[in-house]
Structure 1
Amino acid sequence: MGDLLLLSPAQMRRIEPFFPRSHGVPRVDDRRVLSGILFVIRNGLRWRDVPAAYGPHKTIYNRFIRWSRLGVFNRILAELAARGGGTDRLMIDATHLKAHRTAASLLKKGLLPRCIGRTRGGLTTKLQVVCDDRGRPLLLHLSEGQANDHRTAAAVLEELPPARHLLADRAYSSTGFREALIGKGITPCIPPHAKHRVQHSYDPLLYRQRHRIENMFARLKDWRRIHTRYDRCAHTFLSAIAFAAAFIFWINEML
């Protein structure tokens, strides 16, 4: 397959336990199809433009949609992160992802939320991520672009793994968020707003480690279908992010 992206046998062995079982007719080669999905996500291609070496583009697209609905890609990320070992420090932050006009079309139709909102930069989706101390994603959450950071963070509070500290920027400096963390036995390392009446203390040396989550966002946004959202449905977009994050930070780096 030349210079095209192709999952190695060792990489496939790491993720094969999380695939759904095949019933009836055997599936088309998992290695080739999943490599094609990663190639499309990385390069921001239309599905019909996938190189012929990966096989029919309809097969690749249908596999991505079907496994997205089953939550397979999200499960791959969650299981690999769980097997990566615990951490003493967590980091949380959010970034905006611009929604392409194809994703924003039919915005108000459908029963499921599309997680697209309007901000100063236009139509955007906000991606909130919880990382470990090495900047490897553990939890992902999508919301509308205009959503408040510490309010959307409440959606992942119950799923936070055990840790001693959580690092975050001033956007998360709210009394409710701090109290929720302390209630879970996690010490917040969050600088207070200058205008806040109560100036909470934090460890500035520990806070310097927060650049690792910013580096993580930079690496994720190198993948074009993450930097710009083309998927109308939020669950398919989140699946693309989860599969890319699993490949970049867990499948490769843990071999």
Structure 2
Amino acid sequence: MPLNSRKNHFPHPHGKPRVDDVRVISGIIHVLKRGLQWRDAPQEYGPHKTLYNRFMRWSRKGIFNKIFMALAGERGDPDRLMIDATYLKAHRTAASLLKKGMFPRAIGRTKGGINSKLHAVCDENGAPLILYLSEGQMSDYKGARHILGALPKANALLADRGYDADWFRDGLRDRGIEPCIPPKKNRKSPRPYDKTLYRQRHKVENMFAKLKDWRRIATRYDRCAHTFFSSICIAATVIFYLNQ
């Protein structure tokens, strides 16, 4: 991780020097990518309790989210945007927390079982720019309502017919973004769209596939939404911004 990102986002140690941040973060990435229990982390990364405590503490502070947003913001304004959503299966350990718990869960029941749903916007290269975690039963266009105000400037946005809503199309045009969205089958007056440009939408699907290569992302074990979302931000940062 770049030194400037560490200085800007990680908290400064007070009193006794803490264990090396780079070693701890490498251990956290190892655990998340392979879906291990914390106690199964290799000893070369230090005590597993240190990895767990550091991950939980920094997740509550939103540090990993801020690092992802900072790196994504350095890309500048993209030419095209792509939006989509995917289901993330919640393990029974994640679904066991009471709904009135201290932290929100972002877990819901759908026909496929108990899931969370990841809504994402990526650029023309398939790199994620905006991530939003919701309950599994939230529809695509309702998730888009939460994302619309944060969209960067772009010439066009590609989406499947699940996002075919007049308010969403109008909101995009108000921001100077041309929607490239196929109409729903029940539309009485179908809207035209660029079918050649729409073929590029597979890149957002590829992005989800790469994120789900991380075992901890494909299946959610974390009870609290903020810890699971931190795992997603770490995976997105490593895959799309640090390994380029």
TM-score by length of 1: 0.92
Do the aligned partners of 1:12 and 1:31 also contact (CA within 8 Å) in 2?
no
Which residue of structure 2 aligns with residue 55 of structure 1? 46
What is the CA–CA distance in structure 2 between the aligned matches of 1:19 and 1:161, rounded to whole Å?
26
The one-letter code sitting in structure 1 at the alignment partner of 2:70 is E
What is the CA–CA distance in structure 2 between the aligned matches of 1:217 and 1:20, rounded to whole Å?
30
The one-letter code sitting in structure 2 at the alignment partner of 1:174 is A
What is the CA–CA distance in structure 2 between the aligned matches of 1:123 and 1:35, rounded to whole Å?
30
Do the aligned partners of 1:14 and 1:251 also contact (CA within 8 Å) in 2?
no
Deviation at 1:120, TM superposition (A): 1.2
Identity over aligned pairs, percent: 60
The one-letter code sitting in structure 2 at the alignment partner of 1:137 is P
What is the CA–CA distance in structure 2 between the aligned matches of 1:238 and 1:116, rounded to whole Å?
12
1:19-168 residue pairs with structure 2 within 5 A? Answer: 19-168=10-159
Which residue of structure 1 aligns with residue 215 of structure 2? 224
The question of 1:15 aligning with 2:5 is answered: yes
The one-letter code sitting in structure 1 at the alignment partner of 2:16 is V
What is the CA–CA distance in structure 2 between the aligned matches of 1:163 and 1:14, rounded to whole Å?
28
Deviation at 1:14, TM superposition (A): 5.8
What is the CA–CA distance in structure 2 between the aligned matches of 1:85 and 1:52, rounded to whole Å?
40
State the secondary structure of the residue aligned to 2:13.
Answer: coil
**Match 2:167 to one of 162, 176, 198:** 176
Could you tell me which runs of 5 or more consecutive residues in structure 2 were left unpaired when the two chains were aligned: none
Deviation at 1:198, TM superposition (A): 2.1
Deviations 1:30-75 (A, max 9, x none): 1110001101110001111111111000100011011111111001
State the secondary structure of the residue aligned to 1:53.
Answer: helix
Deviations 1:91-149 (A, max 9, x none): 11000000000000024231432110111111000000110110001111011111111
Could you tell me which runs of 5 or more consecutive residues in structure 1 were left unpaired when the two chains were aligned: 1-10
Which residue of structure 2 aligns with residue 198 of structure 1? 189
Do the aligned partners of 1:226 and 1:241 also contact (CA within 8 Å) in 2?
yes
How large is the RMSD of aligned CA atoms in angstroms?
1.1
What is the CA–CA distance in structure 1 between the aligned matches of 2:12 and 2:130, rounded to whole Å?
25
The question of 1:189 aligning with 2:172 is answered: no
The question of 1:238 aligning with 2:229 is answered: yes
